[in-house]
Amino acid sequence: MRGGFEIVYEITLTTQDIKRIVFAVSLMILILVSVLTVFADNNTINTTNRSLNNSTNITVEPMSARASVTVSPSTINLGTVMPDGSLHSYPEIATVTVTDWGLIFDTDLYVRVSGAFVNTADPSSTIPLSNFQYDNPTTGSRTSFTTSNELVKTWTSFLIMQKTVSMNYYLTVPSFTTNGTYTTTIFYSVT
């Protein structure tokens, strides 16, 4: 038989050692959750611009530390629209993606608008908010934007979720509306 050696390790853990390990693991999880929360908060604001030339800024407002919302594309121009009182449709003009995580959780997507379209050269000239609408995937009907959060969609999920909603917008520019560039801001948020 050849000469050899054997190394034997004996590991002894005391309750004090176990307490230190549990504390260290808990601290690491707390740091990881804090970093992910900061990362989620820093990555959930996107702005999309929309333009009798009509412009609409879209801002994402996360109301949940674990959720993120993105709107694509980042810039949309509604083009030059005749002030003739007819309805103009913009199918699938914006794609809203919601990502969330948790054990078993509900995620709600909301939308609201800052107010009526306002002429950038003449703020007294506006297009009423009731003339700006979207298809609501929850109700299946066309809904006028409001300045209050309105529920767009709810999902119940397990562990991780990423859902996408294609938004259809509709705009009616009243007859005799003053020519110009009109803007408003749309806010998407999640809870």
Rounded to an integer, what distance in angstroms lies between the CA atom of residue 178 and that of residue 117? 12
DSSP letter at 130 equals G
Residue-range domains of the chain with CATH: 42-190 (2.60.40)
pLDDT in tens, 103-122: 778 889 999 999 999 999 99
Rounding to the nearest 10 degrees, give the CA dihedral for residues 117, 122, 125, 130: 10
pLDDT score of 52 = 44
Going from the first residue of the chain to its last (191 residues), give the mean pLDDT of each consecutive group of 10, the final group possibly shorter: 51 58 60 50 37 50 66 79 92 90 85 91 93 84 93 88 91 92 88 83
At residue 146, the pLDDT reads: 95
Whole-prediction pTM: 0.66
Q: Which residues contact 127 (CB under 8 A, 6 or more apart)?
A: 52, 54, 116, 117, 171, 173, 174, 177, 182
> pLDDT tens digits, residue range 148-169?
999 999 888 888 889 999 999 9
